[in-house]
Amino acid sequence: MKLLIIDDNQPLAEGLVAYFEDVGVEGVIADSAEKAKILFLQQPFDGAIVDFYLPGADGVRWVQWALEKKPNFRWVLYTGSLSYNLSKRLQGVGLSDRWVFRKPKACADDLLAALSIGMK
């Protein structure tokens, strides 16, 4: 399994990669939505962990873009903003709060579990 980790918080992203590595999952880091787009087009990923606040385009826009490319692509939004809720518009295009995880309460295995369920 290969996951794309889109987060500009380097220590956190590297921590996630280390965790995934220990459980046999490959993690690739992109520190911006733009870089994530390039990686997404270049390599096959089974899912993505996406921060909301990113330099440039935000995480939700990236998810929308990715879903246009691969409608069944699995993703989770991993945000430090506790007050963040998906707007009705985003819910309308199929994004669900079910896939929104809060930092720091949700830990790496929660994210992996959510993505694994999605991948079944």
Nearer to other proteins, 23 or 93 (CB): 23
Angle at 103 between CA 88 and CA 74, to 5 degrees: 60
Pair of tokens at residue 53: 């606040």
How near is the Cβ of 37 to other proteins at its closest, in Å?
A: 22
How near is the Cβ of 48 to other proteins at its closest, in Å?
A: 17
Q: How far apart are CA 24 and CA 80, in angstroms?
A: 26
- At 54, give phi and psi (nearest 5°): -130, 155
Q: Do residues 91 and 18 make contact, with C-beta atoms less than 8 angstroms apart?
A: no
The reply on whether position 88 binds other proteins by CB under 8 A is no
Nearer to other proteins, 16 or 25 (CB): 16
Nearer to other proteins, 70 or 98 (CB): 98
Binding mask 58-87 for other proteins (x = CB under 8 A): ---------------------xxxxx----
Q: How far apart are CA 15 and CA 101, in angstroms?
A: 16
Residues near other proteins (CB under 8 A) are 9, 11-12, 15-16, 18-19, 22, 53, 79-83, 102-105, 107-108
